[in-house]
Amino acid sequence: MKIHIDIDCFFVSAARIVEPELEHKAVAIGGRSDTKIFNKDAKNQTVNFQNTGSFVPTFYKAYEKKDDDIASFTDANGKIRGILTTSSYEARSFGIKTAMTIREALQLCPHLIIKAPNMSLYQELSHELHEFLCTKIPLVEQASIDEFYGDLTGWVRDEEIPMFIDSLRHEIKKVIKLPVSIGAAPTRYIAKLATTYAKPFGSKVIDKYNFDSFVNPIKVGDFAGIGKSMKQKLLSAQIHTLGDIRKRRGTLESWSPYASELYKRINGEVDAAIKTTHRRKSIGISRTFDSLYDRVELKRRVHVLARHLAFAILKLDVIPTVFHLGISYEMSQSSHKNISLAELFTEKKFDSLCLKLFNEADTQKRLKVIRLSITCSSFTRDSKKELSLIGFEEEQKMRKLTEHTQVLREKYGIDTLKWASEM
């Protein structure tokens, strides 16, 4: 049997550990793109590789405790900016949802307590829980900052699993002080589904005896892996529940290999092994900001993002060979540019490359820009590309300079050394 462990309202639960007075109150964690990265006096930028995903940035500003966290989301004009990354169940009873703007949330619930995100705390607690789970379960996979899978096969007898996971959730609450919900099932896909129906702070076991009664009534949109387009396709075919899908195998198999695989997951016919380690395949940085037309300032921001991303690439000790830069404009317009380059990685070359990609991607010069993103992928360890030997000796000298720069930034901070073009 596989189990799925999900921390209930993780960011709020973490805040309640630090501030117990938040217990049983309507609380939400705000999130806002950290545009302070572009400030010429920016400090305390932190890089994280342990976990990524929704609302978990690779780069973030260190948490600063304030008496009034709402100030973190108020701009110079007094306007409240930002969205919610999560909220407590007490807040959800007022109709508050993830990704809702803070302004909308406060209109629905004026007494809502807004807290600033504390990524360092979340990473610390996530790591602590992972280490704890490894002492209880032979195979543990960390799927995200607040989500884990485990394999109990040959470790806990099936008839003992209900008691085991119920005891485990209470032990986690006692030791780590985090409320979790746990689902158990023959496959990881159904275990994840079971967790959804175990929340909050509950446990649920799905086996061959209750599989049909549990799975069949669930709406198609509630199964992980069914996105908006697939949901619409299913509904147009008069398929509304997972039970309907299980009756229409031929229909799904005729659509696509993905739809066929989806049927098997829902029917409990396929599973994926628990992976105890994940190898990162890409890394990127992006920022959303108030609409900006000034191309000189936009290029300066490209330099800033490139410097931060170069720091992360060197810290990961990888050599990317595919580079991507994206630009989002006002009026829902966007543009992007890719390039493949199999050469030794140096910060100077990377900075020039990012600026080149920006100049080529900026096709809507009449429009203001609201977002910049840079992504690097296809690391040489994972690709079949070989590094070019042209100018290799000169590149090695620049690489050594890059490494010396990295040592200083590791010790004194990412902002210790900057490009003149950023000033």
Q: Is the pLDDT score of 389 beyond 70?
A: no
293 and 402 inside one domain: yes
Under the banding of pLDDT at 50, 70 and 90, the label for residue 33 is low
- The CATH number of the domain holding residue 110 is 3.40.1170.60
71: in domain: yes
pLDDT in tens, 191-225: 999 999 999 999 999 999 999 999 999 999 999 98
Determine the straight-line distance between the first and last CA of the chain, rounded to whole angstroms: 57
- My answer on whether 334 and 219 are in the same domain is no
Kindly tell me if the per-residue pLDDT of 134 is higher than 70.
yes
115: nearest Cα among 191, 216, 10, 45? 10
- Tell which of 207, 236, 266 closes a domain: 266
Q: What CATH number has the domain bearing residue 354?
A: 3.30.1490.100
Higher local confidence (pLDDT), 119 or 242: 242
Let me know whether 47 and 145 are in one domain.
no
Domain boundary among 231, 266, 301: 266
Q: 273 in a domain, yes or no?
A: no
Give the pLDDT mean for 381-385: 51
For residues 394 and 287, membership in a common domain is answered with: yes
Whether residue 2 is contained in a domain is answered as: no
The CATH number assigned to the domain holding 262 equals: 3.30.70.270
User: β-strands 369-377, 322-329: how paired?
Assistant: antiparallel
Range of the domain at 171: 123-266
Same domain, 65 and 136: no
DSSP 82-148: -EEEEE-HHHHTTT--TT-BHHHHHHH-TTPEEE---HHHHHHHHHHHHHHHHTT-SEEEEEETTEE
* Percent of the chain residues topping a pLDDT of 90: 62
Q: What are phi and psi of 246, to 5 degrees?
A: -65, -20
Does 247 lie in the same domain as 151?
yes
pLDDT above 50 (res 383): no
CA nearest to 345, candidates 369, 300, 315: 315
Domain count for the chain, please give it. 3
Note whether residue 22 is domain-resident: yes
Question: Are residues 200 and 135 both part of a single domain?
Answer: yes
Answer yes or no: is 275 within a domain.
no
- Give φ, ψ of 177 to 5 degrees: 70, 20
4 inside domain: no
Residue 299 shares a structural domain with residue 415: yes
- 146-194, pLDDT tens digit by residue? 999 999 988 888 999 999 999 999 999 999 999 999 999 999 999 999 9
- Of 241, 266, 291, the residue at which a domain comes to its end is 266
- Are residue 354 and residue 395 in the same domain, yes or no? yes
Q: What is the pTM of this model?
A: 0.74
Same domain, yes or no: 255 and 217:
yes
- Given a cut of 90, whether residue 100 has pLDDT beyond it is yes
pLDDT average, residue stretch 121-135: 92
pLDDT for the residue numbered 37: 73
Query: Average pLDDT for residues 315-330, to the nearest whole number?
Result: 92
Question: Do 111 and 138 have their domain in common?
Answer: no
Give the Cβ contact number of residue 209 at 10 Å: 9
Helix (DSSP H) and strand (DSSP E) numbers for the chain: 14, 14
**Is 371 within 8 Å of 286 (Cβ atoms)?**
yes
Does the residue 277 lie in any domain? Answer: no
The pLDDT of residue 233 is above 90: yes
Q: Does 225 map to a domain?
A: yes
Query: What average pLDDT score do residues 332-343 get?
Result: 92
Residues 360 and 375 in one domain: yes
